[in-house]
Structure 1
Amino acid sequence: MKKIYVLDTNVLLQDPRAIYMFKDNEIVIPAVALEELDSKKRNMDEIGRNARYVSRLIDQYRTKGKLHDGVPLSNGGILRVELNHKSFVRLQDIFIEVTNDNRILAVALNLQEDENKRPHPRPVVLVSKDALMRVKADALGLQAEDFLSDRVIQYSKSYSGCMELKVSKAIIDQYFALGRLSVSVLKQTSAARGKSFFPHQFLILKDELGSPASALGKISADVTHLELLQYQDEAIWGVKARNVQQRMALELLMRDDIPLVTLTGKAGTGKTLLSIAAGLSKTEDERRYQKLLVARPIVPMGKDIGYLPGEKEEKLKPWMQPIYDNLEYLFHTNKPGDLDRILAGMGSIEVEALTYIRGRSIPEQFIIIDEAQNLTKHEVKTIVTRVGEGSKLVLMGDPEQIDHPYLDEESNGLTYLVEKFKDQPLSGHIRLEKGERSPLAQLAAHVL
């Protein structure tokens, strides 16, 4: 049976093509949602861009018929802008204040009452990203759903970049003797039967009989064999891997044949420090890249601090302080102003806000994007398409710590990028599990 889906404004702001995600059912956009879109369309951010996109999309369908009567969509559905069911009489005794959310609820409730009078009523479903909106709808007897088509995969089940296999000691010995191991040999083992391997995926081989014998390797770009790591125990700018996953991360960061690297993990696992150390090594020591560019999105945690005085560099300083903290550690500075003088003298390190990256083409640079979990899918696409010839791009973040109001661990751009690129030979990924900042930070990451 076909349904009527009433869309909340936040669904359209999250995915501007949401009207195509409900197959051949009827899509109803309340008039108040258009008012909210109009109030957002001047924003110079992702929300504003989506509001403008939805406005243009609806305007295109306006030329195909009367929107209040319903116009056919390209996927077989019907799009309707609802003007006749905004009466607030049914809700005025329950929700006293006439808010936009309550007006959308009124539309859905009045539509449901009309459908119940028909011989074959269609179910009316309110679709909203707002949990409290869904709770209120449920209290009114309305069917409510979250908008899930933007979900990539649950973070805990997403691609980790590493797999542990229990194999015979003979296979481990063969791997060390030859320096490589055919994937076809691995797939013949019971532990790997039915499993898929991806380019640059790390494998930890352990003896199935329980002996201390073990081995660490990386799947080749063409997924034909397991190979030894090139950067196993080397110190990079004074930074040495403290656990096996950090060794994997350094392998991806230092390999020139892997232009896209994604790192995920809780706070304190070393993502930023390892990336900046690798970037300094590649730009200053090896001269492989002309410049090290470090950027992060301007998304506040908690209440924003408002406008800041000064030039662009002064305004960005508070937002970029985590980057400067790592640079101070790597350069061993202990006096105020030392780092500024070092960076000014080198000239090959640039710390930037992602706000200024649109429109740029960035060739021959080692690019680090911190806090990438606060990026949308569109923003991640914008960044990756900015990468020029001979550049390396590193995106890192913790999908469990998101400050963006319209994203979560399953719909953010970083998780999306990891899943879409896991089978690409130009990309490598590793999820860091163990915190190395301090015992207290490690405990807090797991307990709090």
Structure 2
Amino acid sequence: AMALSMLKEGEITRVILTRPAVEAGEALGFLPGDLQEKVAPYLRPLYDALHDILEPEEGHRFLEDGTIEIAPLAYMRGRTLARSFVILDEAQNTTREQMFMLLTRLGEGSRCVVTGDGTQVDLQKGTPSGLLEAERALGEVRGVSFVHFDPEDVVRHPVVGRIIDAYERHRKDAELQGNGGADVSS
């Protein structure tokens, strides 16, 4: 909503929505089709969010004329994103290199919002999350801030907040018992 407000006020000229192409523990395998068809499954949540905010005709027009761009994170390299509002979604699934690359693309008059949940990292084991590194590295940088949400801030179904609480308690109990999140009932 903030990005669209800035767009309508003329403070920015485009909105760029991006996310890393990482599956949640599943392999999509070889996907036929052109680039757009191959990355569509990864970007679908961004289109869903866009449809929640804009009327279909307006959203389609903005996508057609490039005012709103939805693109895989890998395609940000080499660009300078001036007068843009950049939204990086699912940032917990960025590598350290990807996060650094995106944050250093910002040009004059741009803003960047990075969203992610450090408890839902889908990277291969041993691959550090760029989001977690960014929070440690940039915590004291002027012009950068972090906002943390609690389970009661969840805007999905009300039961989702309770599910998050239950998993946090379960995992904490499992850690205390020394089995790192395994089933504590066995």
TM over 0.5: yes
Residue 428 of structure 1 aligns to a residue whose secondary structure is: coil
Counterpart residue type for residue 16 of structure 2: L
Asked whether 1:320 is paired with 2:39, we answer: no
Q: Displacement, 1:406?
A: 3.4
Q: Displacement, 1:332?
A: 4.4
Asked whether 1:368 is paired with 2:87, we answer: yes
The residue number in structure 2 matching 1:380 is 99
Once the two structures are superposed, residues 169-200 of structure 1 have per-residue CA deviations (whole angstroms, 9 ceiling, x without a partner) of xxxxxxxxxxxxxxxxxxxxxxxxxxxxxxxx
Match of 2:73 among 351, 354, 379: 354
Judging by fraction of residues, say which structure has more helix.
2
Counterpart residue type for residue 141 of structure 2: Q
Q: Displacement, 1:290?
A: 1.0
The residue number in structure 2 matching 1:412 is 129
Once the two structures are superposed, residues 314-367 of structure 1 have per-residue CA deviations (whole angstroms, 9 ceiling, x without a partner) of 22221111111111111244xxxx576333455300000011111112111111
Counterpart residue type for residue 154 of structure 2: G
Once the two structures are superposed, residues 155-179 of structure 1 have per-residue CA deviations (whole angstroms, 9 ceiling, x without a partner) of xxxxxxxxxxxxxxxxxxxxxxxxx
Residue 351 of structure 1 aligns to a residue whose secondary structure is: strand
Match of 2:5 among 275, 281, 291: 281
Distance in 1 between residues matched to 2:165 and 2:81, nearest whole Å: 38
Distance in 2 between residues matched to 1:304 and 1:343, nearest whole Å: 32
Q: How many residues align?
A: 165
Distance in 2 between residues matched to 1:407 and 1:368, nearest whole Å: 26
Distance in 1 between residues matched to 2:132 and 2:63, nearest whole Å: 35
Query: TM-score of the superposition, structure 1-length normalised?
Result: 0.35
Structure 2 unpaired stretches of 5+: 168-186
The residue number in structure 1 matching 2:155 is 436
4+ long deviations beyond 4 Å: none
Contact 1:361 1:388 in 2 (8 A): yes
Distance in 1 between residues matched to 2:96 and 2:159, nearest whole Å: 34
Q: Displacement, 1:400?
A: 0.3
Residue 313 of structure 1 aligns to a residue whose secondary structure is: helix
Distance in 2 between residues matched to 1:386 and 1:311, nearest whole Å: 26
Counterpart residue type for residue 43 of structure 2: M
Query: TM-score of the superposition, structure 2-length normalised?
Result: 0.80
Residue 325 of structure 1 aligns to a residue whose secondary structure is: helix
Counterpart residue type for residue 110 of structure 2: S
- Greater relative contact order (Cα < 8 A, sep 6+): 2
Percent identity reads: 30
Contact 2:51 2:59 in 1 (8 A): no
Judging by fraction of residues, say which structure has more strand.
1
Counterpart residue type for residue 356 of structure 1: Y
Backbone CA RMSD of aligned residues: 1.9
Distance in 2 between residues matched to 1:344 and 1:377, nearest whole Å: 29
Distance in 1 between residues matched to 2:27 and 2:38, nearest whole Å: 13
Q: Displacement, 1:370?
A: 0.7
Counterpart residue type for residue 148 of structure 2: R
Counterpart residue type for residue 341 of structure 1: H
